[in-house]
A and B are shown apart, each in its own frame.
Chain A
Amino acid sequence: MVTPAQVFFSYLLLVGLIVGIAALVMMTLARFWPRRPLLGLIALLGFGAFLWGTLALTEPGFRLFVFYFWLFTAAVVGGAIGCVTVRNVFHSALLLILSLVGVAGYFILVNAEFLAMVQVIIYIGGIMVLFLFGIMVSQNIIGTQLKQNTPHSPWAAAAAGVLFIVMFFVGLFMTLTPSVNAVRDPLGSNTASVGWSLMATYVLPFEVASVLLLMAMLGAIILVRKD
């Protein structure tokens, strides 16, 4: 029996193979392939789709959920790597927006629809627009080819790498007992549950957060006011 997911992944496999081979042929024919990092990226993505489609087709109980997880993972990880490595700060902010969109997808996958909407409206629509505004205000200083890293950045990379290796093994060997038999969102929708919790259980942190936002607003106005 052929499931719709298997049909989808067989097409993904085919398209990935064709795109990967085409990009590889173009890279080989155009002998200046080091100057075309986009083609290399497309070839890598195509062959990744091919390998991953093969993997998914051989797994018996495969769900489309997992495909969306790895799609959002590609957005999150690619955007984050670009955000901390690109020299142009404006492009860095745009790649961070890509990463935040992937995080909103994660929120959908873990049944946190309210958080996904908050992520899109407040993070991407508010905070990132504020960042882009700040970048545009100081843009004549930034420069697109200016060196953006400190001379000590290899040490920072080494420390981050060691931290990631430790956390990777912790995450790999972590065993928790998942709570499967519990009722999720008894009020019917996720937004209703989160709203009820914010207004009833966590009302004191909610009020403290509103005071914090007021203080931040006043502080920002006072800091940038012309004397």
Chain B
Amino acid sequence: MLAMMLQMGTEQAAQPGPLSALAQAWGILFQHWFAYGGDAPMRFFTSVDYHQYFIVSSFIFCLGFYGVAARRNAISMLLALELMLNAVNINMSAFNQYWGLAQTRAAFTSEESVLTNLGQCFSVFAIIVAAAEAAVGLAIIIAFYRMRKSIMLDDANLMKW
């Protein structure tokens, strides 16, 4: 009797049910935490890699998104937009540092590989575009303020329907 029950138990455990599939999926997802001998959460704070830059910049990006979506004031919205642009700049320069494309030194004589600074150049262009955006955006806000005596976006309803 006992042997039969044990056998049944093993048979049931051998068949993967929906819950065990879920546990397997979560195990696959979280096995990276135990890759360094179980101190991955501590290692997150005591070493700097591209993960940290990505997570901080994604947090800044989401804060900027919240600010753009939730603020009524047009200038506050532009400030939040600057936050989003800076998150992108952090990401581009950090990935250039840690994952820059290695190309051969075509212009030089040796065969060593060189890090491109494509990410940094792209950040320069992003800063240029941010400057243009700030100038034109503030000009639009000041023109709107002259017309309606307000910079709240709730009042910008002339082109609504």
Name A residues whose Cβ lies closer than 8 Å to a Cβ of B.
52, 55-56, 59, 62, 65-66, 69-70, 73, 76-77, 80-81, 83-84, 89, 92-93, 96, 99-100, 103, 106-107, 109-112, 114-115, 118-119, 122-123, 126-127, 130-131, 133-135, 137-138, 141-142, 147-150, 152-153, 155-157, 159-161, 163-164, 167-174, 176-179, 181-186, 190, 193-194, 197-198, 201-202, 205, 209, 212-213, 215-217, 219-221, 223-224
Contacts of B47 in A (CB 8 A): 59, 66
Q: Which of B94-127 contact A (CB under 8 A)?
A: 94, 96-102, 105, 108, 112-118, 120-121, 123-125, 127
Contact with A96, one of B56, B83, B113, B151 (Cβ below 8 angstroms)? B83
A106, B50: Cβ atoms closer than 8 Å: no
Additional 19 contacts, C-beta under 8 A, given A171-B51, A176-B99: A62-B46, A66-B48, A83-B63, A83-B80, A89-B73, A89-B76, A110-B93, A111-B97, A112-B120, A115-B124, A118-B124, A122-B131, A130-B138, A149-B70, A167-B54, A168-B59, A220-B135, A220-B139, A223-B143
Contact with B143, one of A118, A190, A224 (Cβ below 8 angstroms)? A224
Query: Given contacts A148-B72, A174-B54, are A157 and B66 in contact (CB under 8 A)?
Result: yes
B124, A194: Cβ atoms closer than 8 Å: yes
Contacts of B62 in A (CB 8 A): 160-161, 163-164, 167
Name B residues whose Cβ lies closer than 8 Å to a Cβ of A.
29, 32, 42, 45-48, 50-56, 58-67, 69-73, 75-76, 78-80, 82-83, 86, 89-90, 93-94, 96-102, 105, 108, 112-118, 120-121, 123-125, 127-136, 138-143, 145, 149-151, 154
Most chain A C-beta atoms within 10 Å of own C-beta, residue among B123, B124, B149: B124
Q: Which 6 pairs, one residue from A and one from B, show the smallest C-beta to C-beta distance?
A: A156-B69, A216-B132, A153-B70, A167-B58, A84-B67, A171-B54
Query: Given contacts A66-B47, A173-B29, A183-B115, are A134 and B141 in contact (CB under 8 A)?
Result: yes
Contact with B113, one of A119, A134, A181 (Cβ below 8 angstroms)? A181
In the bound complex, what is the Cα–Cα distance between A147 and B93 (angstroms)?
Answer: 37
Tell me what chain A mostly uses at the interface: helix, strand, loop, or mixed: helix
A50 to chain B, nearest CB (A): 13
B51, A213: Cβ atoms closer than 8 Å: no
Closest to B148 in A: A141
6 of the cross-chain contacts (CB-CB < 8 Å) are A84-B76, A127-B131, A141-B145, A179-B101, A179-B115, A193-B117
A73 to chain B, nearest CB (A): 6
Contacts of B140 in A (CB 8 A): 223
In the bound complex, what is the Cα–Cα distance between A152 and B66 (angstroms)?
Answer: 11
A212, B129: Cβ atoms closer than 8 Å: yes
A115, B75: Cβ atoms closer than 8 Å: no
Query: Given contacts A182-B100, A220-B135, are A150 and B70 in contact (CB under 8 A)?
Result: yes
Contacts of A190 in B (CB 8 A): 117, 120
Query: Given contacts A118-B127, A171-B58, A223-B139, are A83 and B73 in contact (CB under 8 A)?
Result: no
A69, B141: Cβ atoms closer than 8 Å: no
A157 to chain B, nearest CB (A): 6
A115, B29: Cβ atoms closer than 8 Å: no
